[in-house]
Amino acid sequence: MDVLHNLSFGFEQALTLQNLLYCALGCTVGTLIGLLPGLGPLSTISLLLPLTYSIPTGGALIMLAGIYYGAQYGDSVSAITMKIPHASSIVACIDGYQMTLKGKTGLALFTAGLSSFIGGTVAIIVLSTMAPALGEVGFLFGPADYCALMLLGFFCVSFVSAGSLLNGLAMAMVGVLLGVVGTDVNSGVARYTMDLAFLQDGIGLISIALGCFGIAEVVKNLDNKNVLTPFNGKIKLMPTWPEFKRIWPSALRGSVIGSILGILPGGGPTIAQFAAYAADKKFSKYKHEIGTGCIEGVAGQAAADEAAARTSFIPLMAIGIPENAVMALMMAAFVVKGIQPGPNMIATHPDLFWGLVASMWIGNCFLLVLNVPLVRYWLSVFKIPYTVLFPAIMFFCCIGTFSINNSIDDIYTTAVFGLIGYLFLRLDMEAAPLMLGFILGPMLEENFRRAMLLSRGDFGVFVSRPISGTLLAVIAIVVVWQVVAFFRAVRKKSAPAIDAVVPTTS
């Protein structure tokens, strides 16, 4: 058994004392910051990314992965107990909070913890079997195929995270344009640098991320002025046997759905949660109870959440294209450490790849231990008022941006992107596609130019190659579907308006 052999090799890597510590630290810090209002996985990772620069490669990646799924999990805890969702755990608010209202918080948290564990375990099986296989496919990709795949990623992410294809796509394009800033690799021309020396290497990723997700989010929360009431209810964790039996079917269903949706371009935890919740509503034995606070409504989505958070590493590590904004940040972390994710990664760095996979399962155990018995201590985080919290968040933003290059200039860049991020926020423009566009922009340009060079300027190459042709066809279908849906909505809206006018005139 090749997979088993590889996995045991991975566990050897991950079970060193040092890596165990990094994993535990990542999970703990990730959960802690993920719990805080206004800080989802994206801002948590960008805040903590600079701190991992001084850690050895394997440990840094293990820790970042831990931060990611820890933050993802912390999010669902705050959603269940107090109905404060970040973008990543909207679904947990529905049934989870209903259960809290019924006084079954402990049961909801236990269900979420156990289901997350099941979801994570299933996802790791998928990850260890699928990623190497997909890596083989990755070798078949030419420049044109990469372009098409990135475009598909933009379309899918726009659709998923912004809810509207047009808005999301616009943000992705703004991101691509920001990615162009700096010295052009092919010709050495400095583009859009305004003669500023620190822009020669391009705009700092962390500056953009912390500006748009850190500073802008802080101001948004200040504008809202909502006061949080800390959770003070009793928590009874252990479920009864019949309750315990109800968790399994939903959690397994959610794991499978999450694993699949995590791999697809634009996929990830958010869409997986919605899909799993919808599936439970349709197929669960207790579907009539969903929405009123029942176990199935929590179990399915929690499992899908954690499963998708892990399988979304597959496209990044096997093909080298991150499929959503969080993975784009992960990719930046890989590159900083001198590792180019892609088909070659598994072959050239098997210790990192299998170590990371194994550490995800270990992280899973840590999360279960950290969160299920100790959850009541975590909840005391909410007793910190926001007036104390936000100067601290700003402090971390500043230290984070500064310590990348030890340069004060980066803090000014962060301030500029804080303003831009605030404008985006007030204009209902989702910043997640911008992140993805920014990371993929230079790769898109590079591959586009290479593809055109190879084909001597003939656009036919995008259609004639089977992989890119198929991907572009999928994009075309999505666009046509969106346009049709828009015109239908307009017609439907104007129809009742006419109906309303008719009776009054007659």
Footprint of other proteins (CB under 8 A): 50-51, 54, 166-167, 169-170, 173-174, 176-177, 180, 184, 186-187, 189, 191-192, 215, 218-219, 222-223, 225, 227, 386-388, 390-392, 394-395, 398-399, 402-403, 406, 408, 411-412, 414-415, 418-419, 422-423, 426-429, 445, 448-449, 452-453, 455-459, 486, 490
For residues 307 and 272, is the Cβ–Cβ distance under 8 A? yes
From the number of C-beta atoms within 10 Å of its C-beta (0-12, 13-18, 19+), residue 58 rates as buried
Structure tokens at 174: 């703004």
Nearer to other proteins by Cβ, of 133 and 419: the residue is 419
Question: For residue 297, which of 310, 307, 288, 306 has the smallest C-alpha distance?
Answer: 288
Say how many C-beta atoms besides its own lie within 10 A of residue 22's C-beta: 25
State the Cα–Cα distance between residues 71 and 73, nearest whole angstrom.
5
CB atoms within 10 A of CB 377: 9
Closest to other proteins by CB, 101 vs 495, is 495
Q: What is the DSSP letter of 422?
A: H
* CA 408 to each of CA 206, 210, 215, 402: distance values in angstroms, whole numbers, following the listed order: 13, 15, 17, 6
Residues 80, 105 contacting (CB under 8 angstroms):
yes
* 461 HSE (CA, 13 A, CB side): 20
Name the minimum Å distance from CB 422 to other proteins: 5
Q: How far is the CB of 494 from other proteins (least distance, A)?
A: 9
Closer residue to other proteins (CB): 96 or 437: 437
Q: How far apart are CA 95 and CA 78, in angstroms?
A: 13
| Host H or E run for residue 400 | helix 386-405
Smallest distance, other proteins to C-beta of residue 76, A: 27
Closer residue to other proteins, CB minimum distance, 94 or 144: 144
Shortest distance, position 78 Cβ to other proteins, whole Å:
20
Shortest CB 237 distance to other proteins, Å: 32
CB of 389 to other proteins, least distance (A): 9
Separation CA 439–CA 432 (nearest Å): 11
* Shortest separation between residue 458's beta carbon and other proteins, angstroms: 8
Contact 43, 49 (CB under 8 A): no
Q: Given the complex with other proteins, which of 408 and 484 has the nearer CB atom?
A: 408
Question: Please, which residue, 216 or 375, has the CB nearer to other proteins?
Answer: 216
Which is closer to other proteins, CB of 191 or CB of 288?
A: 191
Specify the residue, 154 or 231, whose C-beta has the smaller distance to other proteins: 154
Smallest separation (angstroms) from other proteins to the CB of 195: 13
